[in-house]
Amino acid sequence: MAARTPPAVRLGRATIVAFAVYLIIPTFAHYAESPQPGRVEGLVLAIAVLALYIAAGCTGPRGPWHRWAVGIMALLVYLPLPFLGEWWAASGVFLAAMALGILPRPYPLPAFLLVAVAETIKAMALGDVLWEGLSWTLSVSVAAIPLAGLTHFAETARLLYTTRIEFAALEVAAQRARAMSELEGILGSRLDAIAEQGRRVVADVDGDTEVVRKELGRMLDMARESQREMRSFAHREQRLPSEKPDDQK
Query: pLDDT tens digits, residue range 152-201?
Result: 888 888 888 877 877 777 777 777 777 777 777 777 777 777 766 666 66
pLDDT tens digit sequence for 55-85? 999 887 788 888 899 999 999 999 999 888 8
- Average per-residue pLDDT in the chain? 82
pTM of this prediction?
Answer: 0.69
CB under 8 Å, gap of 24 or more: what pairs does 72-75 form? 73/49, 73/98
Contact 84, 34 (CB under 8 A): no
Of 238 and 13, the one with more pLDDT: 13
Angle CA 116–118–123, to nearest 5: 95
> Region 207-218: what's the mean pLDDT?
68
pLDDT of residue 43: 93
